[in-house]
Amino acid sequence: MKLQRKNRLRATALGALAVSSALVLTACGSDNNSGGSSSTGGSGEKTSAASNIKCDDAKGQLLASGSSAQKNAMDLWVKDYMAGCKGVEINYKSSSSGEGIIAFNQGTVGFAGSDSALKPEEVADSKKICKTGQGINLPMVGGPIAIGFHLEGVDSLTLDAPTLAKIFDGKIKKWNDPAIAKLNSGAKLPAKAIQAFHRSEDSGTTQNLGKYLAATAPNDWKYEPEKKWPAPGGQAASGSAGVAAQVKQVDGSIGYFELSYASSQSISTVDINTGGSAPVKASSENASKAIAAAKIKGTGKDLALDLDYTTKAEGAYPIVLVTYEVACDSGNKPETLSTVKSFLNYTASDQGQKLLTDAGYAPIPTEINAKVRETIASLS
């Protein structure tokens, strides 16, 4: 009797398990993304139901590298994406824009991050890797280049373009210089030497700061906007993280890096006098106001932007950058194409872009981002 009762219980349990499994399979086959770990639509595309990430046929490992400016955003994206798309590994090496482009044109990464659009010679080199196409620029991350400073006893500081140019060119050497004092009436500025830090490696952040200074202070900044730091003097540090770390530690220091580095380390940032009614703070919202005026200058599927560094619009923070993800428009490697498209589709999605504001970046303007999504869908 005991054996018969045990068998009946086992049969009941197996029957319940079968029903439960059928229900699970039915849920996985539906288009409802409100629950569960994944779902498959009628077209066969797989979607992370928990976060609405379209995993499609993404699989295996995807290598990418480049801009350290977008590192904090990329860390969030990768974590979110990999949580939604099990079995996929995104490995982004935060180095510099220059190193990212080199890696892309050597064919060692699926895409690269760069704070500056591809140069004509870099596009030409990309055609060797993108067998039937070329590398294109997909604007993905916007944000302010914060001018961080560390000056004991001074929590608020305003500077304008000519003064910044002279500081980074070594022409203004003391914090109590009359040019700084004039912009900061009432501030107790010490007669302390200024220690200016810049990037040691080729950097799109450096180039974007150079574009701002060249456009707004041409009489004081005579250098061509290049990825390599052009001015004599100053002290070098590796990556945005390295520059931020030095400014955090050294009293009397000033440097440039993305706002997320300042926010995460509680580094004071400079307000910029643009000639408007009031100095403008470095913030995601204020950077968005400047980036919103950008125009697409790329042709075909290339979406490189033309930023207006000279804007005097109220509340628009002018020292901005846009980080591009660089990918082949066609001729991508078959083994990584699906993963590249799936991951970039997520970073350009409403969900992915929302993470930018929370991390101190600025989302790409809606009109431009719509074209980014169309282009990602067409990658082949």
**pLDDT tens for residues 269-325?**
999 999 999 999 999 999 999 998 899 999 999 999 999 999 999 999 999 999 999
C-alpha torsion angle, residues 352, 99, 104, 308 (rounded to 10) = 60
pLDDT tens per residue, range 91-106: 999 989 999 999 999 9
Question: What is the C-alpha separation between 210 and 212, in angstroms, rounded?
Answer: 5
Exposure of 309 in the CB half-sphere (CA atoms within 13 A): 20
Closest to 98 measured CA to CA, from 255, 196, 229, 243: 229
Residue 38, pLDDT > 60, answer no
pLDDT band at 27 (very low <50, low <70, confident <90, very high): very low
- In contact, 200 and 237? CB cutoff 8 Å: yes
The per-residue pLDDT for range 201-211, each reduced to its tens digit, is 988 899 999 99
CA dist 110 and 8 (Å) reads 56
**∠ CA 100-370-130 to the nearest 5 degrees?**
35
Short-list 325, 368, 260, 301, CA closest to 114: 325
DSSP 48-91: ETTTTEE-TT--EEEEEEE-STTHHHHHHHHHHHHHHSTTEEEE
> 30 pLDDT exceeds 90?
no
Mean pLDDT of all residues in the chain?
87
pLDDT digits (tens, 9 = 90+) for 116-126: 999 999 999 99
pTM, full prediction: 0.77
pLDDT band of residue 51 (cuts 50, 70, 90) is: low
Q: Is the pLDDT of residue 87 over 70?
A: yes
